[in-house]
Amino acid sequence: MLGNMMSKPLLISSILTHAEQVHGKAEIVTRTVEGPIHRYTYTDAAKRTKQLANALNSMGVELGDRIATLAWNTYRHYETYYAISCIGAITHTINPRLFPEQIVYIANHAEDKVLFLDLTFVPLVEALQDKMGTIEKYVIMTDREHMPETTLPNVICYEELIAEESDQIVWPEFDENTAAGLCYTSGTTGNPKGALYSHRSTVLHTYAAAMPDSIGCGNADALLPVVPMFHVFAWGVPYFATMVGAKIVFPGPHMDGESLHELIEGEQVTTMLGVPTVWLGLLDYLRSKDIKLSSVKKSIIGGSAAPLGMIKEFQETHDVFVLHAWGMTELSPLGCTNSYNQAMANISLEERYKMQLKQGRPVFGIEFKVVNDAGEALPHDGKSYGRLLVRGPWVVSAYFRNDDMSSFEDGWFDTGDVVTMDENANIQIVDRKKDVIKSGGEWISSIDLENIAVSHPDVKEACVIGVKHPKWDERPLLFIVKQDEADLTKEEILDFVGNQVATWWKPDDVVFVDELPHTATGKLLKLSLREEYMDHLMG
């Protein structure tokens, strides 16, 4: 017997409509690409989004068309998110930090029809344009006054595109499983792979992300997504902030410590979200000026492991709780969060920090399973580690236009992460499967060693890879970027790390470097280091 309830499809347009009707006066503030601060309300945003949607319809954009963006976190990018998906086309965000040949590959693979781009990326797109065969029109996201001279064909100015359009529209209704958004993984090996989200998966992810013990977001919050809108839809901020009517503060392309600080204080940001690297810059700046943050309550850190030193500094200097979270492009991206919970209430700060190093517990909707290589479930003892498999309504079931099903088994998606799970269902990422160091048949976590190394005051960044060893197969090699003017020796850092781990985990050598390679999403790019240093210990 079926229930008697209405079966209204879960569509992204309902999020915007709700915000317009219920949270009309809440603000969206942007530090624009052109420079000045732009400020408007959800009512204004909804009107302009409808104008853009009408413009897309006039342009001939149809259900299922892929419309690409190459843009920073701004109000115009926000408008494209909604306008494209709400008419049934697919918002395809492209990460400008990818290698140019990857950008070309992605645009062609997706068969993008129109590209919306920020002023910053005009030269990049001019250089690639003749290789991106399917794009018919380029919309530069600015006004007439700032339109550049360009060799791009069929160029349209964003403000001119929407100016004459009506701000009324009846959003179409279609199947909630219709594709809404497309995002490619940055892929450290091989070509990027596309995760194609649906309206249903996006709306469910939005509910889940807003819940108090998940990312947690309410109407009184002011959110600063430093995580880019070109990477996994800024972790869903443009959706869940809109659903609850929180203020959104978009940093545009200005993500240095000084600009972020000005925006945080000026707009009284309560919650900020980003990968560890951006917070290094902010914390450096605050330390150098001896400033404390006054309004921020929570810093959501994910994408890479949040280092202990960062968790401590946010708490002790700025009274900011670090909410460590784990996710991936294939999960829209939210998988688990380590929110403030009962177990943290009556313990010392030092003990709490240890808990916060874990990535947390699955949010409702996502199921986790930790298995060994034979596929057998491992005990939840916080020690046994194995592959993390996940499933749920916002997890990909295949890659877009890709026959490779090697990451999918029996209805589960293999994340490629090696984790432990404790008795309270907290997971801790031990390593990426491909980064774990196999020394004499035992596993060493490169992430653990990196975390310890960066907790040394003279260390700015650390990276550990496994390199060939004549006796042990693989041994850890540590790379260090020193703090400016630090006078750190090999012996000092090796002792510092060695004293905090089992003897056989101590790295065999240290290489001091000026900088480390990163992927387009700010993760350490270990592949090139491995190639260069593979024989470092082979004598």
Catalytic residue among 20, 27, 79, 330: 330
The reply on whether position 299 binds ligand ADP by CB under 6 A is: no
Give how far the C-alpha of residue 186 lies from the chain's centroid of Cα atoms, to the nearest Å.
11
Residue ranges in 330-349 that form contacts with ligand ADP under rule CB under 6 A = 333
**What single string gives the DSSP state of each residue in 66-101?**
EEEEE--BSHHHHHHHHHHHHTT-EEEE--TTS-HH
Cα separation of 208 and 333, whole Å? 11
* 443 annotated active-site: yes
> Does residue 390 belong to the site contacting ligand ADP (CB under 6 A)?
no
Burial of 299 (0-12, 13-18, 19+ CB in 10 A): buried
Of 429, 433, 425, nearest in space to 451 by CA: 429
309, burial (CB in 10 Å: exposed 0-12, middle 13-18, buried 19+): middle
Shortest Å, Cβ 430 to ligand ADP: 10
Alpha-carbon distances, residue 143 vs 36, 94, 147, 347 (angstroms): 13, 22, 6, 55
Instruction: Work out the number of other CB atoms within 10 angstroms of the CB of residue 17.
Output: 14
Q: Which own/partner contact pairs does 408-411 have at CB distance under 8 Å and 24+ positions apart?
A: 409/375
Q: Which range binds ligand ADP by CB under 6 A, 326-334, 347-355, 365-373, 499-507?
A: 326-334
Query: Shortest Cβ distance from residue 315 to ligand ADP (Å)?
Result: 17
**What string marks each residue from 399 to 418 as x (binds ligand ADP by CB under 6 A) or -?**
----------------xxx-
Residue 271 makes contact with ligand ADP by CB under 6 A: no
Cβ 428 to ligand ADP, closest distance in Å?
A: 9
Under the binding rule (CB under 6 A), the answer on residue 140 touching ligand ADP is no
Per the annotation, the verdict on 297 as an active-site residue is no
185 is catalytic: yes
Name the CA radius of gyration of the chain, rounded. Answer: 23
3-state SS track over 288-319? HHCCCCCCCCEEEECCCCCCHHHHHHHHHHHC
Give the shortest CB-185-to-ligand ADP separation in angstroms: 4
Residue 519 lies near ligand ADP (rule: CB under 6 A): yes
User: Given candidates 129, 304, 337, 451, which one binds ligand ADP under the rule CB under 6 A?
Assistant: 304
Measure the CA–CA gap between 528 and 457, rounded to whole angstroms: 27
Q: For ligand ADP, which is the closer residue by CB, 115 or 301?
A: 301
* Of residues 45-64, those binding ligand ADP (CB under 6 A): none
How near is the Cβ of 163 to ligand ADP at its closest, in Å?
A: 36
The single residue of 289, 354, 434, 438 carrying the catalytic annotation is: 438
Contacting ligand ADP (CB under 6 A), which of 329, 332, 439, 445? 329
HSE (side-chain half, CA atoms, 13 Å) at 141 = 25
Q: Which is nearer to ligand ADP, 192 or 245 (CB)?
A: 192
Name the β-bridge partners of 39: 29
Binding segment for ligand ADP (CB under 6 A), chosen from 75-83, 347-355, 404-412, 516-524, is: 516-524
In whole angstroms, the minimum distance from the beta carbon of 32 to ligand ADP comes to 26
Of 427, 488, 480, residue with least CA distance to 454? 480
Q: Measured between alpha carbons, how far is residue 161 from residues 89, 506, 515 in Å? A: 18, 60, 43
Q: For residues 422-461, which are near ligand ADP according to CB under 6 A? A: 429, 432
Note whether 359 binds ligand ADP by CB under 6 A. Answer: yes
Beta carbon of residue 186, minimum distance to ligand ADP (angstroms, whole number): 3
Residues between 165 and 194 that touch ligand ADP (CB under 6 A):
185-186
**Of residues 139 and 419, the one with the C-beta less far from ligand ADP:** 419
The answer to whether the CB of 205 falls within 8 A of the CB of 180 is no
Using CB under 6 A, which of 352, 523, 530, 536 touches ligand ADP?
A: 523
- Taken in order 17, 20, 26, 31, the sign of the CA dihedral is positive
Q: Is 474 in the site for ligand ADP (CB under 6 A)?
A: no
- Least separation, in Å, of the C-beta of 302 and ligand ADP? 4
Which residues does 481 contact at the CB level (< 8 Å), separation at least 6?
459, 460, 461, 462, 512, 513, 514, 515, 516
Applying CB under 6 A, the span of 24-32, 84-92, 298-306, 502-510 interacting with ligand ADP comes to 298-306
The SS3 call for residue 339 is coil
Phi first, then psi: what are they for 198, rounded to 5°?
-105, 170
Distance (Å, rounded) from C-alpha 145 to C-alpha 157?
10
Is residue 324 near ligand ADP by the rule CB under 6 A? Answer: yes
How far is it, in rounded angstroms, from Cα 27 to Cα 12? 19
What residue type is 276 in one-letter code? P
Among residues 355, 364, 333, 323, the alpha carbon closest in space to that of 424 is found at 355
Closer to ligand ADP by CB, 67 or 328: give it: 328
Closer residue to ligand ADP (CB): 198 or 329: 329
3-state SS, residue 321? strand
- Residue 264 beta carbon to ligand ADP: minimum distance, rounded to whole angstroms: 22
Among 196, 305, 389, 493, binds ligand ADP (CB under 6 A): 305
Catalytic residue among 30, 93, 185, 206: 185
State in angstroms the smallest separation of the CB of 95 from ligand ADP. 8
Distance linking the first and last C-alpha atoms of the chain: 72
438 is annotated as an active-site residue: yes
The window from 49-57, 162-170, 196-204, 517-525 that contacts ligand ADP (CB under 6 A) reads 517-525
Does 326 sit near ligand ADP (CB under 6 A)? yes
Which amino acids are annotated catalytic?
185, 330, 438, 443
Binding residues (CB under 6 A) for ligand ADP: these are 185-186, 232, 302-305, 324-329, 333, 359, 415-417, 429, 432, 519, 521, 523
